Structure 1
Amino acid sequence: MARGLHLCLAFAGIASAAFTGNLNYDSPSKHHASLGISISKVAKRTYGSSPQDPNQLNFTHGIASGDPYDDSVILWTRAAPSSDNNESNVTVSGYVPLYDHSTEQYVAKSNSPICVDWKISTSKSFDHVINSGRAYTSSDIDYTIKANMLALENSQRYTNGHYQFNVCNSNNSSPIGRTKTIPSSNDKVSEPVRLAVYSCSNYPFGFFNAYGNPVRKDSVDYVIHLGDYIYEYANGEYGWGNSYDRIPLPDREILTLYDYRKRIATYRTDLDLLASHQNFPWIAVWDDHEVADNTWRSGSSHMNNTEESFIMDGGVSVDQRKMNAVRAYFEWMPIRQVDMDDNLRIWRKFKFGNLFDLVMLDTRQYDRAITDVYWNTEYLGEIYNDASRTLMGPRQEAWFYRTLRESSTRGATWRVIDLPYNYDQWDGYQANRNRTFHVIYENNIGNNVFLAGDSHASWVSDLVWLDEHPYDSATGSGSMGVEFAGSAVSSPSPAGQNVTLDAAMSYSERLTAANAELQWQELYYRGYYELYISHEKVDASFFGIPTTTVRNGYEIPLANFTVLAGENKLHRTNGSPAVGNIETGSIKGGTPTHSNLTYDTETKTWFTYTGL
């Protein structure tokens, strides 16, 4: 009897250990079991059952990699018997029996374990496998798999690797992906690092062509996503998906865990998004729409912590909705949870050798003071300069300022920082902005490149503490860095979905005239930008997508800019902040060409775009 008990316990331990290879069982918090998933319960439920038939499983939503370190990278996939998502809105808890998936009354469970192997190689043929591992998944985490590919040899770091998943003991394999780590913090980086920067992809507004173009060009090493990866609205509330057979599912405003899982899964059916995830490691943060419109620490534009809001939204509180959204995001995105004692933390940094430090901030969900939720705009105009106003919360702010100082002290050439700009964001939190500028100016921290999304518009600016330090708009003197903002992948222009090019130009001209530091502004095109970072300079290239109504590989080069190391401003040539001509938009010291010269990234040919 005792021997049988010991064997049973031993097998249970082995079964539990098999699930620990999947990081999604740790989410949202490995160190707080009541918030996470009880792996022992999952193992107990599936122990003794035959594995799921490999022929009944599919890699339903492609593969992905992300959050690269110098010695590891996150690998992601989903191996499931159905493309649909787990309809449970609860989780397995170590403390609350009601949430146990074995309680049929509450949720359908998966009894058969799903086993997936992964491998990575220096070649696409996998002749030399440099690392491999095994992970299990189940309905509890929506059949997702997230593995931390560890311990690459020094000679194999910072090189492209090819990876693949395979259902255990079968020929059922995923597509082959490509990924890479980043240089070690002390490495002397000699080659430029290439980044594609995105934000704001709205499924019913059209195809995500912008995601696929760098894949077809093979023009970048990593993808940076600044947020609004999904939108929470029902079809027709913000975009009409019937026009393109792109109805966001479930077709309602999303609130529950199932809703957020299904919405991300729907976005992952876009072929260009799938291609980008498959070919480049992503570094992503959320903005507001991953949860709801204009979120802050205690609410959003449509929800707040009141009884009226709770009843109106079907018995879902602000905190519960945020937990559902965060849980689904961590399950589906190839990102690390950098602080297992803080399940809402997504802010983190990446050291690309001695070349640059990438700082990714959360200015929405973590601890943001009240924002513009449409009915309080006048009130916010009165309090925007209050000392307590913060985008980040005191803990993240302190970490950010310490990170800036440490980056400069350690000798990284550049600091690349995800920090947005507009009244809803940076300008509506004047005290937070002043504290940031104070750290930069008082510590003489130069070579700062700020990245922004969210505005659905492209613009380029010198980074200036106006009214505190003198600034010459013509030369850039007085600036302490630059700010690059990209348009949306598909979300409409703030000037209107159907704005004409002439009207967009008129709006842009007014904006550049009203803002001394704003050097270029463009409202018409959807698109993205690429950064090429070397010790000597940062080059920025902006691309416009001529249409999102059909899937294609077209893009129009809009403008190019350069920042020379040590200049702390946009480099001027003959009085213009741009390199060469610009295609469209309003620019100080220059005029646009409006050539419509378009590159087809699929056929590698140039042509003049005249519409479809």
Structure 2
Amino acid sequence: MFRAGGVAAVAAGAGAFGGVAVADTGPFAHGVASGDPLPGGVVLWTRVTPVADAVPGSGAGPEVRVRWEMALDEGFRNVVARGAVPTGPARDHTVKVDVTGLAPGTWYWYRFHLGGAASPAGRTRTAPAGDAPVDRLRFGVVSCSNLQAGHFSAYRHLARREDLDGVLHLGDYLYEYAPGEYQARDVVVRPHDPPIEMTTLAHYRRRHAQYKADPDLRALHARVPFVVTWDDHESANDAWSGGAQNHTEGAEGRWLDRRAAAQRAYAEWMPVRYEPGGRLYRRFTFGALAELSMLDLRTYRSRQAAHPLDPAIHDPDRTITGDAQLRWLRDGLVTSGAQWKLVGNPVMIAPVRFPSTLSTEELRALSRLTGPLTGVPYNVDQWDGYTADRRELFAALRDHGVRDTVFLTGDIHSGWAADLPYDPLTYPLNRNSVGTELVCTSVTSDNLDDILRVPPRTVSLGVEAAVRVANPHVRYLDFDSHGFSVLEVAPSRVQMDWFALADRTDPGSAARHTASFTVRAGTQRAVRTWEPLR
């Protein structure tokens, strides 16, 4: 990643931000993006196509220098930073600049130039100063955006909002499957490119390029900064440190080579302060109000347990985080000076027991969402399969009296609000919640009603009720919706609103508010509220 200090400058030039991607993008067909906002800096991203044959993943095309500029106004009359960055086929003609020397809590506009062509203009925002009082933060929250399963209308709705400081993407930004392997109720809405399962660097680059060509995703990236992490589908389903469920050693090459290719393409194509060989888990501060810890729960984890009755799920030598990341997370939460401790968490941490009263068909459908169930307590791909790590973390929160910890989670294609009991078997009588968890739905990936081939809010209602009876700390559950969430963080409370798409296969789908839950400061409990954010 190229790092650039802020340089005062003034430049003439036209440019405007209209809230949607500009149609005539010339060599900037994949748009612009920003991410990882700090009080004094932000990452800027684009990809250029300098000649016709320099297509993503081809390894073709010349080395070029791409110019960039940042301004305080959308007309670029008050330019505050500028520079030039080399790129070429070695990094798939992507450009990533870590701009520093910026003012905290400030909106900026940015754009790139190649020759006489200018990119669409993007808008971004730096984080508030570390000790600044902050009245409010708002983020879009999304996960599980499978292009084959639908259109990204969720991104379009978020891009049209005027109140967001950024977007949290909690994983499964893209999917590895070939056409016909995973889509919308077995209907391929938009076939993946390349038309095979991605396993090589060229495959991963092409797939990233296809997703970045989506107009709704480009519009949202150009609107606000993203803070991202990966889950499994950025490489392969149910990935762990030494392999993945959707990887066959030998037939698909060495797992470490495939993972390296996936991580390299991710570093190239995402607006993230990460390069291969570094670490993805990282922390952001937003004044005195909030601190956000983003986790990587795939790179260091032990292999998933064989089944839910496997005693390995309690083995203290197995880990979902890796020892170093768990210490970093635990110590950061315990010593944080921020009021709200937010955790970007790719897979659910709340303990969940699946009721034995469900039918075989319902359990089979749930297992497709969560991993093996067989009617017993644990989903072994989530923190439920690594109980020693969770217990150590929860014990630290309890023993140090840490308050106002909220885990923000994706992965499971459903909406949840849950308390986090230290001892779920006696909850809520013991009132020992150490935090809360808010889980966003999938943007497009199949949910329970899709798997069962039933209308939304029919069979799932009984399943949800049974799960909540078996898990009194679960306050809200929606197994059917596709869409997005909006999170507000304020001194008095955190609130998440859930929004559901009318039809994920419709590029113009409407969205409606379905639920809101609030965590009041100091309570460690999620409570339903009937008023969405205004």
Q: TM-score range by the shorter chain?
A: 0.7 to 0.9
Structure 1 partner of 2:373 = none
Instruction: Name the structure 2 match of 1:280.
Output: 224
Does 1:85 find its partner at 2:39? no
Please state how far the C-alpha of 1:553 moved relative to its aligned partner: 5.0
Summarize deviations over 1:510-540 as a string: whole Å, max 9, x none. Answer: 1111111001101111012111111111111
Match of 2:307, as an amino acid?
T
Q: Which of these two proteins has the greater Rg computed from alpha carbons?
A: 1
CA separation of 1:478 and 1:268: change in aligned 2, threshold 3 A: same
1:162 maps to 109
2:347 is aligned with 1:347: no
Counterpart in the other structure of 1:413: 339
What is the distance in 2 between the residues matched to 1:532 and 1:269? 29
In 2: Cα distance, 1:221 partner to 1:274 partner: 17
Match of 2:209 in 1: 265
Instruction: State the partner residue of 1:145.
Output: 95
State how 1:62-141 maps to structure 2 within 5 Å: 62-80=31-49, 81-82=51-52, 84-88=55-59, 108=60, 110=61, 112-141=62-91
Instruction: Specify whether residues 555 and 467 from structure 1 end up closer, same or farther in structure 2 by C-alpha distance, changes over 3 A only.
Output: closer
Note closer, same or farther for the CA distance 1:245–1:444 as it changes in structure 2 (3 Å cut).
closer
CA distance in 2: counterparts of 1:198 and 1:349, whole angstroms? 19
Match of 1:220, SS state, is coil
Change (3 A) 1:344 1:293: farther
Residue number in structure 1 paired with 2:515: 559
Distance 1:268 1:499, change over 3 A: farther
Instruction: Report if the CA contact (8 A) 2:66-2:113 is conserved.
Output: yes
Show the counterpart of 1:534: 490
TM-score (normalised: structure 2): 0.85
Q: What are the Cα deviations for residues 98-147 of structure 1, in whole angstroms up to 9, with x where unaligned?
A: xxxxxxxxxx5x4x431211111111111111111111211111110001
Figure out how many residues of one structure are paired with residues of the other and give that number: 479
**C-alpha separation in 2, matches of 1:129 and 1:56:** 22
Inter-partner Cα distance in structure 1 for 2:400 and 2:126: 31
Q: Tell me the residue number matched to 2:301.
A: 368
Q: Per-residue CA shift, 1:539-581, capped at 9, x if unaligned?
A: 11111111111112511101111111111212xxxxxx31128
Q: Distance in 1 between matches of 2:185 and 2:205?
A: 19
Q: Is the 8 A contact 1:113 1:137 kept in 2?
A: yes
Separation in 1 of the partners of 2:512 and 2:235?
A: 32
Between the aligned partners of 2:197 and 2:481, the Cα distance in structure 1 is: 27
Equivalent AA in structure 1 for residue 255 of structure 2: V
Where in structure 2 are the equivalents of 1:306-345 lying within 5 Å? 309-310=249-250, 312-313=251-252, 316-337=253-274, 343-345=277-279
Offset of residue 241 of structure 1: 11
- Structure 1 residue 499 displacement after superposition: 3.1
- In the alignment, the residues of structure 2 paired with residue 383 and residue 242 of structure 1 have an alpha-carbon distance, to the nearest angstrom, of 34
Maintained 8 Å contact 1:543/1:555: yes
Distance 2:301 2:447 in 1: 25
Residue 503 (structure 1) aligned with residue 459 (structure 2)? yes
Partner of 1:48: none
**Which residue number corresponds to residue 573 of structure 1?**
none
1:268 maps to a residue whose letter is K
Structure-2 separation of matches of 1:347 and 1:230: 19
Task: Give the corresponding residue for 1:186.
Answer: 131
Percent sequence identity over matched residues?
Answer: 32
Paired position in structure 1 for 2:291: 357
Partner of 1:490: 444
Match for residue 377 of structure 1 among 297, 304, 307? 307
**CA positional deviation for 1:21:** 5.8
Equivalents in 1 of 2:129, 2:511: separation in Å?
Answer: 34
Superposed displacement of residue 87, structure 1: 2.7
Q: Give the Cα separation in 1 of the matches to 2:484 and 2:509.
A: 13
CA distance in 2, matches of 1:581, 1:367: 40
Where in structure 2 are the equivalents of 1:514-593 lying within 5 Å?
514-570=470-526, 577-580=527-530
Is the CA contact 1:455–1:494 (under 8 Å) kept in the aligned structure 2? Answer: no
Deviation at 1:243, TM superposition (A): 5.5
Tell me which residue corresponds to 1:174.
119
Please give the secondary structure, in 1, of the residue aligned with 2:243. Answer: coil
Task: Please give the alpha-carbon distance, in whole angstroms, between the structure 2 residues aligned to 1:223 and 1:56.
Answer: 23
State how far apart, in whole Å, the 1-side matches of 2:504 and 2:229 are: 24
2:404 equivalent to 1:454 = no
Report matched runs for 1:283-302 at 5 Å: 283-302=227-246
Partners of 1:281 and 1:118 lie apart in 2 by 17
Matched AA of 1:416: L
Which residue of 234, 237, 247 corresponds with 2:181? 237
Structure 2 unaligned residues grouped into runs of 5+: 6-23, 349-369, 371-378
Q: Say which SS state the counterpart of residue 475 (structure 2) adopts.
A: strand
| Stretch deviating more after TM superposition (286-295 or 114-123) | 114-123
Q: Secondary structure at the match of 2:48?
A: strand
Find the counterpart in structure 2 of residue 574 from structure 1: none
Alignment match of 2:397 (pick from 440, 454, 461): 440
Instruction: Output the CA distance in 1 between the equivalents of 2:164 and 2:224.
Output: 8
- Kindly provide the amino acid, as one letter, of the partner of residue 160 in structure 2: R
| Structure-2 separation of matches of 1:399 and 1:447 | 18
Work out the CA distance in 2 between the residues paired with 1:484 and 1:166.
Answer: 40
- For 1:370, give the aligned amino acid: R
Distance 1:242 1:121, change over 3 A: farther
Q: Distance in 1 between matches of 2:477 and 2:234?
A: 26
The structure with higher relative contact order (CA 8 Å, sep 6+) is 2
Q: State the one-letter code of the partner of 1:146.
A: K
- Counterpart contact for 1:22–1:146, Cα < 8 Å: no
1:471 to 418, 423, 427: 427
Question: Which residue number corresponds to residue 210 of structure 1?
Answer: 154
C-alpha distance in 2 between matches for 1:461 and 1:515: 9
1:520 counterpart letter in structure 2: Y
